[in-house]
Amino acid sequence: MLANRDPKLGTIQSSPNFVLCTEMVEWNLQERGVLRANNVRHNKVGDKPDALNNPENYKRQVDIEYYIDLYTKQNGEWVPYVADDVQF
């Protein structure tokens, strides 16, 4: 609590350890860094995507396209996840 009393040291909430601990607790409680996939669909390359008609099997050496909608949890609500480096 000395950090709150000394203006040179700043507040406890601004310390790197406090920020790290807060983010770790949020991650452990699945309030941060959690993704959800919705609307999964796939098809052969060149075919029209159809969420109701996803084939169960594909033959070997057939290129497929895979689509999902990703969401992340922010402030207790699911919002679209925006990134350009997602790997599947």
17-43 confidence digits (pLDDT tens): 998 999 899 889 888 888 999 988 888
User: Beta strands of the chain (E only): which ranges?
Assistant: 35-44, 64-74, 77-80
* Residue 45 in this model has a pLDDT that exceeds 70: yes
CA angle 43, 49, 51 (to 5 degrees): 95
Spatial contact of 70 and 86, defined as CB atoms under 8 Å apart: yes
pLDDT of residue 82: 92
Q: Is the whole model's pTM more than 0.75, yes or no?
A: no
Mean pLDDT over 45-52 rounds to 72
pLDDT of residue 81: 93
* 76's tokens: 């207790």
Residues 69, 81: Cα–Cα separation, whole Å: 8
* Residue 6 in this model has a pLDDT that exceeds 60: no
Q: Is the dihedral angle over the CA atoms 19, 72, 78, 30 positive or is it negative? A: negative
